[in-house]
Amino acid sequence: MRKAVVIGAGVGGMATAIRLAHQGFSVSLFEAAPHCGGKLSQKRVGDYRFDLGPSLFTLPELVKELFQLCGEDFETQFPLIRLDPVAHYFWEDGVVLKANAQEERWIQQIVQHLGEDANNVREYFAQADWMYETTKPVFLESSLKSLPWRTRKFWKALFSIPWLPVLGSLHSRNQRYFKNQKTVQMMNRYATYNGSNPYQTPAMMSMIPHLEHGIGAYLPQEGMHQITRALERLMGKKGVEVHLQTKVEEIVYQQNQVRGIKVNGALVEAEVVVSNVDAYFTYHQLLPKFPKPEKILRQERSSSAIIFYWGMSREFPELDVHNLFFANDYKEEFEGIFRKAELADDVTVYVNITSKKVAGDAPKGGENWFVMINAPRYQGGDETEVINSAKKAILKKLNAILKTEVERYIEVEDILTPRLIQERTSSYAGSLYGTASNNAFAAFRRHDNFISGLKGLYFVGGSVHPGGGIPLCLYSARIVSDSVMNV
């Protein structure tokens, strides 16, 4: 039986292990941490449970595919809650919007409350739908080194390029469509879904709202960590050997062919090795003598985050699962993150509260708050000062909008910082999404899912094509398994 090794048990690594096992490989997965999931993990602090990483679930069909490969029924074994509203948006001047899940109703809310032209908003969302469906087969479902040029979908996407907004920033596109700066700010925020700057990231990112409102935003019935548990179970059903707390020391190769990996000084043979480790650390730690793609590894990294996990002793009925409290000067906030490498005095705060839907995530009368701000990548050194500044800025924003003293209700607290993100998930500089998409060609400059100079080595996860976030990591797993099958 052919042997494959997967390094790293993030969502991309687990999905790849399932797919390779389905293809007939004997698969072993090695993870340095004591648990699977990578960023998609959980923690209990006192009586409160928190999902530590990703909090929004879109494109559940990508998980459904894995269930189908294993002969499992997705609908009965992986119950989902479709969120409606998708999010609550807050500004300091008292404006509050509840984003309806149904696209046409959301459009009407934008028109009614923000005074936008209905035709402009409708066209914007229609364009988002068209861009996603047109480009998905080429730029999300395929390796850029093996584009499906023989298919009709490829040529459809190719001939659509002149009509795609490949030039100009997301912000400039939003400025053209909308007259209210609150609408612009809402649509600008989608740049943060891949850790980028809306004033630099390509206008193509305007397709992302289609995922939430055209397709749907979901929450697993038991919280986001349910995704990790489900993939662990599917790996077990497929016979994947999982080795936790087992650090891979090196990827072993001879001439231009992988031979396996080194663990505890011994060779684990495999003809296929898949790295779910950040590409930067894959080269610097696991392939120290192999030529490095320096230009790719030197690209600007995505934003990081500072996250406070607060167990709150009271409920806030004005909040929902996803809540955004916007900064007054959005551009200054991103100037701080990407150019000054510092936090702005006024920040946008995201609060995720799964206990609104998931029983047991907080005690009765309380709530579990996942409180996040976008932050610069880790620069090294002590983070005490930046943590204190972040907490002060967060409380200032929340107190101003919620008209209360939030700190009075914090029963328990835990913190995740850029340094800890790097240490715990091997994400270089604590970047959440690998490379930032801050120019028109960034998507084409991501590290690909395989390299021609070393046969049998593949790359999966948020630091490589097609990018970070749960859906794109699952797409990368599919690309890798298809690439292995086609060799």
**pLDDT at residue 303 is higher than 80:** yes
Could you tell me if 454 and 398 lie in one domain? no
Report the 3 state secondary structure along 438-449.
CCCCHHHHCECC
Q: For the chain, how many structural domains are there in total?
A: 3
Same domain, 284 and 163: no
Query: What is the average pLDDT across 143-172?
Result: 66
Q: Which residues contact 37 (CB under 8 A, 6 or more apart)?
A: 9, 10, 11, 53, 225, 228
Boundary-marking domain end, from 417, 432, 447? 432
229 found inside a domain: no
Contacts (Cβ under 8 Å, ≥6 apart) of 162: none
The Cα–Cα gap between 122 and 107 comes to 7
Percent of the residues in the chain that have a pLDDT greater than 70, as a whole number: 95
- If asked whether residues 145 and 206 sit together in one domain, one would say yes
Residue 327 lies in a domain: yes
Last residue in a domain, options 175, 199, 215:
215
Domain co-membership, 28 together with 48? no
User: What is the sign, positive or negative, of the torsion defined by CA atoms of 470, 476, 480, 482?
Assistant: positive
Q: What is the CATH number of the domain that holds 285?
A: 3.50.50.60
Average pLDDT over residues 406-434: 96
Q: What is the pLDDT of residue 161?
A: 57
183 lies in a domain?
A: yes
pLDDT at 462 over 60: yes
16 domain-assigned:
yes
Ranges assigned E (strand) in 80-200: 80-82, 87-90, 96-99
Question: Could you tell me if 30 and 50 lie in one domain?
Answer: no
* Amino acid type, 467: G
- Indicate whether 113 and 65 sit together in one domain: no
Q: Looking at 181-185, 321-325, 396-400, 464-468, which range is the least confident one?
A: 464-468
Which residues constitute the domain of residue 345?
A: 41-101+216-222+303-432
Q: Report whether pLDDT(263) > 90.
A: yes
Residues 317 and 418 reside in one and the same domain = yes
- Distance between terminal CA atoms of the chain? 16
Q: Is the pLDDT of residue 372 over 60?
A: yes
pLDDT at 160 over 80: no
Question: Where a domain ends, among 432, 458, 478?
Answer: 432
Clarify whether residues 342 and 383 are in a common domain: yes
φ and ψ at residue 459, rounded to 5 degrees = -125, 135
Q: Tell me what pLDDT residue 155 has.
A: 55
Residue 135's pLDDT is what?
81
Same domain, residue pair 390 and 462: no
Residues 307 and 368 occupy one common structural domain: yes
For 175-217, how does the pLDDT look when each residue is reduced to its tens digit (9 = 90+)?
999 999 999 999 999 999 999 999 999 998 999 999 999 999 9
Asked, for residue 148, whether it belongs to a domain, the answer is: yes
Q: Give the 3-state secondary structure percentages of the chain, helix then strand then coil, rounded to 5.
A: 40, 20, 40
| DSSP secondary structure, 344-363, as one string | -SS--EEEE-GGGTSTTSS-
The reported pTM is 0.95
User: Is the pLDDT confidence value at 441 over 80?
Assistant: no
Q: For residue 129, is it within any domain? A: yes
- Whether 238 is in a domain gets the answer no
Q: Is residue 231 part of a domain?
A: no
Q: Are residues 117 and 156 in the same domain?
A: yes
Work out the mean pLDDT of the chain and round it to a whole number. 94
147 — pLDDT class (breaks 50, 70, 90): low
Residues 131 and 112 placed together within one structural domain of the fold: yes
The CA distance from 362 to 368, in Å, is: 6
